Structure 1
Amino acid sequence: MSDSNVRDELEAKRGRNRQRRLAGIKRWVEYVKTHAPEEWGEQQNRLVDSRLGSARRSDLDVEHRRRVERVGRDRSP
């Protein structure tokens, strides 16, 4: 397989992934528009908390870790 074919396949894969992500975002926007914040807010909080926790447990450099902690503090009530 030539480098050109590999690049084309990679670009196609990136395009498909991007389309899937956009479709997921659109579904979430529709869900948020059609459901009360009391229903989806807790789901979103669990997701964000999970991502922040994963970032904190990973092997990150100090500056990145500080940025994650700042974001976590900023979103806390």
Structure 2
Amino acid sequence: MSDSNVREHLEEKHERNREQRIEGIKRWVEYIESHPPETWGPQQNAVVNDQLEAAQDVQTSASHQQHVKDVAAEILDVSDESDDRSK
């Protein structure tokens, strides 16, 4: 397989992965719009906690762990702002 074929194969794979992620996000949005936060909130927290634990298990650097915490805090801030606006 030539370098250009490998590159094309990887680009196709990345595009498929991207499309699958987008479809997964769309399904999640449909789910959270049709279920109360009391249902999906704990589920989402469990997923995030599992991801954090997995990251810790592979012994990621302290700076990466801090980055993940910062991103999570930013997401919560945006979510809180959105909740405040919808009231």
Structure number with the bigger relative contact order (C-alpha 8 A, sep ≥ 6) is 1
- Given the two structures, how large is their TM-score scaled by the length of structure 2? 0.72
Alignment match, 1:49: 49
Distance of 2:25 and 2:45 partners within structure 1: 16
Q: Which runs of 5+ in 1 are unaligned?
A: none
Q: Distance in 2 between matches of 1:47 and 1:10?
A: 28
1:1-77 map, 5 Å? 1-69=1-69, 74=73
| Percent identical | 49
**SS of equivalent residue, structure 1 residue 17:** helix
Structure 2: 5+ residue runs without aligned partners? 77-87
Number of residue equivalences: 74
What is the rounded CA distance, in whole Å, between the counterparts of 1:38 and 1:71 in structure 2? 23
The alignment partner of 1:6 has SS state of: helix
The Cα RMSD (Å) is 1.9
Closer, same or farther: CA 8–48 of 1 in aligned 2, 3 Å: same
Q: Which portions of structure 1, spanning 4 or more consecutive aligned residues, are displaced by more than 6 angstroms?
A: none
Deviation at 1:69, TM superposition (A): 5.0
Kept after mapping to 2: 8 A contact 1:55/1:68: no
Aligned counterparts of 1:59 and 1:35: Cα–Cα separation in 2: 36
